[in-house]
Structure 1
Amino acid sequence: MDATYISPVKINLTLRVLSRRPDGYHEIISLFWKKKGIEGLTIQPHDNENIGDVLDVSGMKVNGENILFKALRWARDRSLIPPLRMCLTKEFLAGSGIGAGSGNAAALMMYLKAHCGLEIENDSLSSVGADVPFLAGDADLALVEGLGEKIRPQVPLKGLRWVIGFPYWRSDTSAAYRGIDDLREAGKLPLLPEDQCRTEATGILRRLRNGETAGLMPNDFLEVVSKGRPEYFRAFEAAERSGALAWGLSGSGSAFFMVFNDAEMSRRTVSLLEREDWVIKTTELE
């Protein structure tokens, strides 16, 4: 019997990048917010081990190895899992910063947990993708630290909706991290104390819960990703004029988001963005 899961996606309301570790990775302190996306993953076990796992993808093209195969290798080290036939409907562009691929992996984890008895271990699951532990977990809103494995659930934000805009360009996460390192070596991007990063996130949550405008969300990648891309700031100005409570870059980009507490305002903003020739897709999520 097959089962269909809707892949979740996330935005980063705040995203602070800490110093580079000796192994080359960077830890983060980030306020992750999850909503149900629009990509579907249908999974059915089959008994032909000669064929192995089968993945059919429709919609957006996925270059290179799909993260689902990486997730399956991780899961098979921990549980007995039969060969799977998977059908994935891709609606979101790769390199957008909303965790779409990680959301597909999270949907697979949900299936394996329900049907194969897989136990989720955040510490090692982050090796599949930094966003996967949060997206595969139960929290809709959390302060996420480390490499994505340290998750502190927060009380959900109610009654707010997202508008996500996707520009025609993509972001390279590795290059964006290198850009942060370069800016810090040049003394152009401060490294904030960890307690200040947490206090910042808490304050933003308080304002949004009170229905107050929080403005441009702090994201250390913005200075790197927005270089030569003034379109971002035109979008942010439009968000402010349209009555958004918050706006910013999600992850390392390239997608940007706006948060509204009024459905009509968000719909009008979607109409405005669809007239921009540099925005190739918009999505509104409740």
Structure 2
Amino acid sequence: MTSKREDGYHDLVSLFLRIPSMESLRITPLKQASCDRVRTLGLEIEGENILLRALRLAREAGFSVPFLDVEIQKNLPPGSGLGAGSGNGAALLQWLAANTPSPVWQQVARSTGADVSFLFSGAPLALVSGIGDVIEPLPCFPLSALVVFPGWKVGTKNAYGELDERCGGVYSKKESEARSETDALYKALVEGRPCGFLPNDLASALLERFPRYSELFVLFEELGYHAWGITGSGSAAFALSPKTRLPEVPWPSWVEQVIFLPSLF
């Protein structure tokens, strides 16, 4: 993080990586209806559903969008920091934009959520700045990922609120410094050099609250992964490497789900 804006959003510099879709939407236009219907299968979503926000903003932007019935097959737990909800919002906007192409859709994506711009863009890997809406695509390279979901959840607003309290409005890096750090990490990943724990300004509070993360990081290193960290505001942890196979692992009992992605690009 480099600063906090007056509107409450944070400016950042980060590497964003897209993983294969693990959820799906079934979209049906409603011929006779007075509102949208959004249903979730698998896992419950608390609060306003991002799909309803995306539809509202699309109409406010002047697009003629019929009322829709949208069924979400939800497979990734909310509060894990993977941006699954943002991905669903981006997928819905892509579906709408396919029928009425316009540069305005990117503005709608930005207003829908800070992570939605990247996911709407289609870039598999990018250096991202601003609030997440300034996207600089980067060349891909051989990479696999391991994502581990612990038994606890983290609220994004709570994570950012705690960061603000710790920083007192003064953030550790200027944008130029954050860019230099991110460029160096990207180069190390491309070259397959060990990086260890990847910087994340939200991680300090999470590591204090959930010290068991350290058990995962030890496992990641023992498995030969080059880099690891916490997904955004958490709670999932991840590891990166060119590895294409995952051996049997004695995961701690508090690990609820593990996803191995042998080839991201």
Q: One fold, TM greater than 0.5? A: yes
Is the CA contact 1:112–1:118 (under 8 Å) kept in the aligned structure 2?
no
Is the CA contact 1:27–1:146 (under 8 Å) kept in the aligned structure 2?
yes
Question: What do residues 143-173 of structure 1 show as CA deviations (whole Å, max 9, x unaligned)?
Answer: 11111111111112x3211111111111122
Question: What do residues 250-276 of structure 1 show as CA deviations (whole Å, max 9, x unaligned)?
Answer: 111111111121122xx22xx426x32
Instruction: Report the structure, 1 or 2, having the larger strand content.
Output: 1
Residues 162-201 of structure 1 correspond to what in structure 2 (within 5 A)? 162-185=145-168, 191-201=172-182
Query: Once the 2 structures are TM-superposed, how far is the Cα of residue 83 of structure 1 from its aligned partner?
Result: 1.4
Query: Once the 2 structures are TM-superposed, how far is the Cα of residue 123 of structure 1 from its aligned partner?
Result: 4.5
Query: Once the 2 structures are TM-superposed, how far is the Cα of residue 85 of structure 1 from its aligned partner?
Result: 1.7
1:186/1:111 CA distance change after superposition, 3 Å: closer
**Residues paired across the two proteins, number:** 261
| 1:262 alignment partner, one of 218, 243, 247 | 243
Q: Partners in 2 of 1:251 and 1:77 — Cα distance?
A: 30
Question: What do residues 158-208 of structure 1 show as CA deviations (whole Å, max 9, x unaligned)?
Answer: 321111111111112222122222222399xx6112111111111111111
Is the CA contact 1:75–1:118 (under 8 Å) kept in the aligned structure 2?
no
Residues 95-110 of structure 1 correspond to what in structure 2 (within 5 A)? 95-110=79-94
Q: Partners in 1 of 2:31 and 2:76 — Cα distance?
A: 31
Normalised TM-score (structure 1): 0.85
Secondary structure of the equivalent of 1:56? Answer: strand
Query: Once the 2 structures are TM-superposed, how far is the Cα of residue 213 of structure 1 from its aligned partner?
Result: 1.6
Alignment-derived partner of residue 219 in structure 2 = 238
- Mapped pair 1:28 → 2:12: yes
- Mapped pair 1:221 → 2:202: yes
Secondary structure of the equivalent of 1:199? Answer: helix
Secondary structure of the equivalent of 1:31? Answer: strand
Secondary structure of the equivalent of 1:191? Answer: coil
Alignment-derived partner of residue 117 in structure 2 = 133
Q: Partners in 1 of 2:8 and 2:97 — Cα distance?
A: 32
List gaps (5 residues or longer) in structure 2: none
Report the RMSD for the aligned CA atoms in angstroms.
Answer: 1.9
Residues 40-59 of structure 1 correspond to what in structure 2 (within 5 A)? 40-50=24-34, 52-59=35-42
List gaps (5 residues or longer) in structure 1: 1-16
Q: Which runs of 4+ in 1 moved over 3 A?
A: 116-124
Normalised TM-score (structure 2): 0.92
